[in-house]
């Protein structure tokens, strides 16, 4: 089978290759998936440039790793302990390359059975591929400190992948959603996702717009803590939680007393090390939302498997939407 592959860290065009590798066989508790779309996240850029020696492993006759954590496909084989009736099932994948060299940038991959989640009838591959890390991160950030029902939640970067699903899943959970964006095109995407209030964070009166339009935020889902901490502190309600799921090149300087005085909670979220139980809950609730047709895809930008390096460069450029490799 064909698979994208890298054996050392570095720039996309330098280290990513497409090779012929042996098709994998599912082990106990695993399923094998014929991949249709392999989705790319910013975290895949980090893995390509920061993998440690233990992250590389045997892939057929090669040693290295196949990139990407998310995607969609069809189960075509199951390992011991997995119900054979799953064969033929369309699925969406999450954390496929976590703790294993078998990511989704290949014609086939193998994953633990519960990380290949049934895709409800009528759900497109594009929507399924947009889920994974973005939707599950959004769910974890929304629910890690209890239900967001009747809470005001500020979502930074509402047109981004995590922001998009934080809006949709937050509304589904009964939250009031305020989001920040950088321009009118992104504002339109955030409104389409269902945000109650959309504010351009570049406006001089952004804080006043948020407080006047929605009041203080009980929960803040943050992608750029270093850049946005001042705004977050200005709009946070007493006892609010600021949860950040991304690290910037420069860490923030934390104004401890200003965080302490209103009894704020600063939480950090990373799916790779998150507890298993909330991840499984997230997968279940995301699938239930799909069944009710309450989630929408991001704008999709498709590349062929042979163009994997260009696809990585598109993600690195900050393109709005979801970049995928189309293996159909």
> What pLDDT, on a 0 to 100 scale, did the predictor assign at position 288?
98
In the predicted model, what is the mean pLDDT of residues 55-82? 94
Q: Is the pLDDT of residue 62 over 90?
A: no
> What pLDDT, on a 0 to 100 scale, did the predictor assign at position 29?
98
In the predicted model, what is the mean pLDDT of residues 255-267? 98
Mean pLDDT over all residues of the chain? 97
pTM, two decimal places: 0.96
Q: Is the pLDDT of residue 87 over 90?
A: yes
In the predicted model, what is the mean pLDDT of residues 140-145? 96
d(CA 12, CA 27): 31
The pLDDT-based confidence of 178 (bands split at 50, 70, 90) is very high
> What pLDDT, on a 0 to 100 scale, did the predictor assign at position 60?
83
Report the sign of the C-alpha dihedral through residues 324, 41, 56, 31, in that order: negative
In the predicted model, what is the mean pLDDT of residues 323-327? 98
In the predicted model, what is the mean pLDDT of residues 283-296? 98
C-beta atoms surrounding 118 within 10 Å: 16
Q: Is the pLDDT of residue 131 over 90?
A: yes
Give long-range contacts, CB 8 A cutoff, 24+ apart: 84-92: 86/31, 86/113, 86/116, 89/116, 89/118, 89/119, 90/118, 90/119, 90/123, 90/128, 91/31, 91/33, 91/116, 91/117, 91/118, 91/119, 91/128, 92/116, 92/117, 92/119, 92/128, 92/129, 92/131, 92/132
C-beta atoms surrounding 207 within 10 Å: 17
> What pLDDT, on a 0 to 100 scale, did the predictor assign at position 100?
92
The pLDDT-based confidence of 61 (bands split at 50, 70, 90) is confident
């Amino acid at each position: 089978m064909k698979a994208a592959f890298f054996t050392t860290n570095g720039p996309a065009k330098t280290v990513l290759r497409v090779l012929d590798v042996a098709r994998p066989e599912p082990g106990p508790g695993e399923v094998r998936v014929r991949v249709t779309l392999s989705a790319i996240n910013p975290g895949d850029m980090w893995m390509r440039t920061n993998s440690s020696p233990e992250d590389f492993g045997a892939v057929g006759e090669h040693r290295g790793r196949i990139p990407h954590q998310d995607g969609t496909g069809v189960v075509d084989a199951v390992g011991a302990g997995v119900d054979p009736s799953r064969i033929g099932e369309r699925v969406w994948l999450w954390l496929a390359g976590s703790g294993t060299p078998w990511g989704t940038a290949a014609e086939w991959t193998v994953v633990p059975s519960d990380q290949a989640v049934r895709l409800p009838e009528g759900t497109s591959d594009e929507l399924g591929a947009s889920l994974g890390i973005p939707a599950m991160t959004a769910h974890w950030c929304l629910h890690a400190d209890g239900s967001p029902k009747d809470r005001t939640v500020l979502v930074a970067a509402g047109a981004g992948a995590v922001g998009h699903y934080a809006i949709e899943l937050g509304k589904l959970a009964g939250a009031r959603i305020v989001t920040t964006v950088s321009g009118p095109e992104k504002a339109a995407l955030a409104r389409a996702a269902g945000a109650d209030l959309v504010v351009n964070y570049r406006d001089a009166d952004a804080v006043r717009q948020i407080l006047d339009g929605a009041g203080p935020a009980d929960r803040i889902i943050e992608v750029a803590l270093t850049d946005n901490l001042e705004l977050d502190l200005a709009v946070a309600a007493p006892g609010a939680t600021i949860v950040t799921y991304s690290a910037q090149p420069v860490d923030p300087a934390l104004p401890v007393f200003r965080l302490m005085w209103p009894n704020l909670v600063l939480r950090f979220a990373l799916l790779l090390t998150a507890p298993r139980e909330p991840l499984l809950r997230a997968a279940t609730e995301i699938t239930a939302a799909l069944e009710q047709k309450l989630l929408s895809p991001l704008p999709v930008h498709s590349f062929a498997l042979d163009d994997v390096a260009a696809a990585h460069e598109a993600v690195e450029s900050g393109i709005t939407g979801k970049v995928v490799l189309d293996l159909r």
